[in-house]
Structure 1
Amino acid sequence: MQGEEVTVRNHAAAGGGGGDGGGDDQARVMDIYPLSSYYFGSKDALALREETLADRVQRMKSHYAAHGLRTCVEAVIVVELFRHPHLLLLQVRNSTFQLPGGRLRPGESDVEGLKRKLTSKLSANGAGDETQWEIGECLGMWWRPDFETLLYPYLPPNIKKPKECTKLFLVKLPVSRKFIVPKNLKLLAVPLCQIHENLKTYGPIIAGVPQLLSKFSFNIIDS
């Protein structure tokens, strides 16, 4: 596809970019495509757990006892809408927002696990799309020192046995693709300026994504 390229700096986060020089900036350019370039459909609903916070804590304790550190992998996927970078989020039960992704299976690699989760939540069943996801760099890691809900964007030095690690990976989209989402989930494109430091709505991990993306320049490619 041939198109006009317009470089847009992401100033949604404090400290918006900068590097050692022009060469570093050039290496941090990210192509993003209009939301209208993609097709969106639906498939059968996913089975979602109905559990209290106490149930979730007990499940985490059982998993830790059996397998040790729990690792989650989540995707940072950016598109263009109204000349502004938007982040793709899943909305669960019309309330909770999530980055696409989920928990790794024991012994599963970060990349293969994220591809599996993206296919489960964003591709047609049996489409064989696992190999079509381009997983980029790890943008950041969040740690859960204990089984309570508190998360840190670093591992506290006094914590020797953290209970959970969540890794955020940049996922690069092609010019077009089909997103097929379970009927009981909503896939939303949310502007970075709305997400930035909005902990009340999106939680600490999602609210921190614009700052993680501040090292990139966005090339908006018009069709």
Structure 2
Amino acid sequence: MKLSAQLAAFAARLGHDFADPALLVRAVTHASMSSVYRDDNQRLEFLGDRVLGLVIAEALLQADPRAAEGLLAPRYNALVRRETCAAVARAIDIGEVLKLGRSEMQSGGRRKEALLADAMEAVIAAVYYDAGYDAARRVIMRHWAPLVGSVAADARDAKTALQEWAQARGAPPPVYTEVARSGPDHQPVFTIRVTLADGAFAEATAGAKRQAEQAAAQALLERVGP
């Protein structure tokens, strides 16, 4: 099997020459194509998530040999979470090579954060199956090394930090409410409000609920102080 010119260009951006090109084709095939392709990328995504986790955990230990687990865990979570995987996927244009069914194509699947993140993990697993752990590690570090080097010493996400802020003061957890939704169905925009027990609140708008929640939490953290 020979890769199409588009997939060959993607493999070059990824940094891996596939001995078995069919693995890459499977990795970029979404479940919505099941009527055309027998294999989609769901099982590869499951494995790729674990391979990514191991490589990142190892990289963090090597980057900061003295860091305690309590500091390593939030850094790890920041590097393997969906948003980060999707950001790496966008940087190497996975979206343009995804094989999607018509419904996903029409709903903007090439831009969906979840699809991009899942495909990134599936591609990692494809490299692992194709050439082993060392090859997968090389690919991951090619794209994640700058992130490992720049991840904050305290990399807790804003929602976690805000919840811990409230708990430290004996208050109940913050409440997140969707206050507005706009835009077409395939590209919605959400406005989320986060409220503390004392009535303090902040709002943020983003193209995904999770992003809007994080932005609202960050805004409220900046408002209430350390």
Q: Which has the larger radius of gyration?
A: 2
Q: Give the TM-score range, shorter chain.
A: under 0.3
User: How high is the TM-score relative to the length of structure 2?
Assistant: 0.25
**TM-score when normalising by structure 1:** 0.26
- Structure with greater contact order relative to length (CA < 8 Å, sep ≥ 6): 1
